[in-house]
Amino acid sequence: MTIRDTTAYRHAIIQKKIINLDSGDGRHVMCSWDTCESDGFELYKIRVNTAAPGAEPRHMNYVFCSERHKQYWLNNVRPGSNNNLPPGYRGHL
Ligand SMILES: [Zn+2]
């Protein structure tokens, strides 16, 4: 049972799972990282403009289970990167 005003209680609020409203059955949205099947959290959501340069903006939301998977994803989509975490994140998460 969660006790009010503890760190665990506050984290439980922040780490709200994403529910796919379109599915209609309250299903959770999975982490966007390739090999991960955990549920995504609101806390690790990012919004990306996927439209071509100069075109109408088209925004996509991506959710992740952890800051680590968010960083993996962000660094994976950047051209020239080699699927590595940025220096500040190595060994920290
Ligand atoms: Zn994940």
What spacing in Å lies between the alpha carbon of 54 and ligand 1's midpoint? 32
pTM, entire model = 0.58
Per-residue pLDDT of the chain (93 residues; tens, 9 = 90+): 455 666 665 555 555 666 665 555 566 788 988 889 899 998 999 888 878 888 888 888 889 999 999 988 887 765 555 556 666 665 544
Nearest to 41 by CA among 68, 17, 9, 66: 17
Phi, psi of 57 (to 5 degrees): -60, 135
What spacing in Å lies between the alpha carbon of 71 and ligand 1's midpoint? 10
Phi, psi of 12 (to 5 degrees): -65, -30
CA distances from 91 to 16, 43, 78, 84 (A): 25, 21, 21, 12
